[in-house]
Amino acid sequence: MKTIQQATPNDCALIYELAVPSWKAAYSEILSDEQMDYMLKMMYSEESLHRQMQDGHIFFIVLCDEVPSGFISFHPQSENLYILEKLYVLPLIHGTGAGRFLVEKAEEYIRDQHPDRHFLFELNVNRNNKAVGFYKQLGFHIDREVDEDIGNGFYKNDYIMQKVI
């Protein structure tokens, strides 16, 4: 059984604990260990996660049979645009629908907050990540490609994918 809870700053350590194995599974064949370590520290340190929450990022944690198993974060970027910033589930629950459940709950949250408006939901996904197919199944399409310098000599080589909700 899947349930969801909105994360608070007290959940930052848990989010990091969920991120590490999820990242290793998603990126071990795409990124170097050095780049993964750099990006994890940059985006998932407690300080970084606290700052993201203070800046309006909404985090949900999915519990599968009451066990924390993954998370999503998203935030408003502009009047008609939300960014899906993070979506990771533990490797053991891939294929159980937990990722889809998180995306659907995020979309539901956005619609509940703004019942009379449509939004563009946008995300970055590494061009070599097999999750591209997952997002296409959820109705996202590839809009463009970006190569973003993230520091330390590392780049994000991503597709920008979009969906109207």
Mean pLDDT, the chain, integer: 96
pTM for this one?
0.95
Q: Are 77 and 36 in contact (CB under 8 A)?
A: no
Mean pLDDT of 34-51: 95
The CATH number of the domain holding residue 61 is 3.40.630.30
Please count the helices (runs of H) and the strands (runs of E) in the chain: 5, 7
Residue-wise pLDDT tens digits, 100-130 = 999 999 999 999 998 888 899 999 999 999 9
Number of domains in the chain: 1
Pairing of strands 2-6, 120-126: unpaired
What is the extent of the structural domain holding 159?
Answer: 2-164
**What is the C-alpha R_g of the chain?**
15
Which pLDDT does position 147 carry in this prediction? 97
- The continuous run of DSSP H or E covering 59 comes out as strand 58-64
Mean pLDDT of 146-151: 95
